[in-house]
Structure 1
Amino acid sequence: MVLKTAAAIGAGLVVAASVAGCAARYTPTPLATNFPVSKQPKLQAAEHWAVIAGHLEKQLKEALAKQPPRPLYIADAAPATPFQRALTAQLITALVNDGYTVSRTAPGSLKVELDMQAVTFSANRPQYRYHGEHAALASGVWVLSEIDLPPLAVVAAGVGAYDSYNWFNDQFAPGATPRTEIILTISVTDQYRYLARNSSAYYVADSDRPLYGIVDVEPEAPKLTRMFKVRGDM
């Protein structure tokens, strides 16, 4: 196994060197490359919205610590989606429970605005995860091999009746990569300037698009009538 691995590495280096030697030095456009691996949460429950509200409140707390204490006014989006209504209510609850004064009117208060932008990408987006085969070695002992995350060539764990394969992969949301995402921006302003601002992005389950105000337009039915041009005498 060690010899095969060394041979494969050596062959890969030779191929890489050959490809590098043949690469074009000049191109009319930049070469398309992937970003480094990152993770983005997928919203699938109202509890996840509460988690977002708590995260936003924490960000506000850090930003507002640099400002003189003033009441806060949470501006309502109009028209608000079910997600925006719930998030606004959860944010107000988090702020009040943390000791902030949340005003029901705007005058004399710092204005907190939540902006949501929904974006739809193409369907069948790729989902890259760890790959490998899992098998039971003994009761409660599983092995997952061929993981493309060095140095984890083989992962084996005995955790009682717990499935270590599922444990290793349960961080990933099930199903394909959603084509729907939202960009959520929170801003704190007075009448003259922005005092704090932060943006974050989340995946949204495609089946939950209406909760975020995304209305899919039904394709038009094909027309069943035809126009004929009549020639000659009538």
Structure 2
Amino acid sequence: MIRKIAILGAMAVVLPGCFYAHTSQAPIATTYPISEQQKMQAAHHWRVLAANEANGIFQKLNGQSVYVNAGTEEAIFNETFKQLLTSELVSKGAAVMVSPKATVEVSYDVNLIEHKDRGMIRPPEGALTALAAGIAVASIPINHWKEPALGLIPMAAAGDFLIGNWSPETSHEIAITTQVTKDGMLQHSSTNIYYINPGDKDHYVAPAKSVRTIRVTDH
């Protein structure tokens, strides 16, 4: 038994070295360190973003009047975010103008990213271990406890641990850029990236309008 373990250990050390010893015709794919990205799923999240952006903008105003430009995109996010951002700036004491005749202009832009061929994204660290532990402990009462249903408790505990912390990733993301300009000069720029549910994409980008083609002839 000890001999088998020693052989397996030696193979585990040697094989990775052999893998990197060989050459490759193209760079091999590797991964980034685990990072987190928030997911927008409610209008409240827009308010949180507006409050955060208002803090950065207000610091650049120095008492100057400001106008919030919602742009021309016909999407619900545009007008709602303008209202939220305006409210946050007013609450901080900023002089917000209702017409473009202001010293400073705030504008924002939304880019929708749709991934067509995204690879696997690993679950949160420890998720599989927690679920496996719950399943393993749940099998004990079948043979040893008088109440087998008690075995569901570990699985329920694992579910409670994960349910509020694990939000599934999607193939749709948005990049929201907020900028402050004065006399054509950029004074502040901030870009935030979020996951969104695919069904919510029309909140940020207006659906493409259908175009009807009319054929004109001389007859």
TM-score over 0.5 for the pair: yes
Instruction: Give the 3-state SS of the residue equivalent to 2:128 in structure 1.
Output: coil
1:16 aligns with 2:13: no
Instruction: Give the 3-state SS of the residue equivalent to 1:131 in structure 2.
Output: helix
Partner deviation per Cα, 1:106-139 (whole Å, 9 max, x = no partner): 2242100011111211166533213231416779
1:48 aligns with 2:45: yes
RMSD of aligned Cα (Å): 3.1
Q: Which runs of 5+ in 2 are unaligned?
A: 139-149, 211-219
Which of 52, 74, 78 matches 1:84?
78
Partner in structure 2 of residue 151 of structure 1: none
1:188 shift after superposition: 0.3
After superposing the two structures, state which structure 1 stretch, 122-131 or 209-218, moved more.
209-218
Partner in structure 2 of residue 94 of structure 1: 88
Partner deviation per Cα, 1:76-117 (whole Å, 9 max, x = no partner): 211331011111111111111111111112224210001111
The separation in 2 between residues aligned to 1:6 and 1:69, in whole angstroms, is 73
The separation in 2 between residues aligned to 1:47 and 1:110, in whole angstroms, is 27
Aligned length: 189
What TM-score do the two structures reach when normalised by structure 1? 0.68
What TM-score do the two structures reach when normalised by structure 2? 0.72
Partner in structure 2 of residue 196 of structure 1: 188
Alpha-carbon contact 1:74-1:92 (below 8 Å) kept:
yes
1:36 shift after superposition: 2.2
Alignment map for 1:1-234 (pairs within 5 Å): 11-24=11-24, 27=25, 30-62=27-59, 64=60, 68-122=62-116, 126-129=120-123, 130-132=127-129, 133-135=132-134, 142=154, 163-168=157-162, 170-174=164-168, 177-215=169-207
Higher relative CO (Cα under 8 Å, sequence separation at least 6) belongs to: 2
More helix by share: 2
More strand by share: 1
Instruction: Give the 3-state SS of the residue equivalent to 2:13 in structure 1.
Output: helix
Instruction: Give the 3-state SS of the residue equivalent to 1:163 in structure 2.
Output: helix
The separation in 1 between residues aligned to 2:192 and 2:116, in whole angstroms, is 21
Partner deviation per Cα, 1:179-217 (whole Å, 9 max, x = no partner): 211111010001131001111111110111221225379
The separation in 1 between residues aligned to 2:88 and 2:6, in whole angstroms, is 56
* Matched AA of 1:212: Y
Q: Which runs of 5+ in 1 are unaligned?
A: 144-161, 219-234
Percent of residue pairs identical: 19
1:47 shift after superposition: 1.1
Instruction: Give the 3-state SS of the residue equivalent to 1:199 in structure 2.
Output: strand
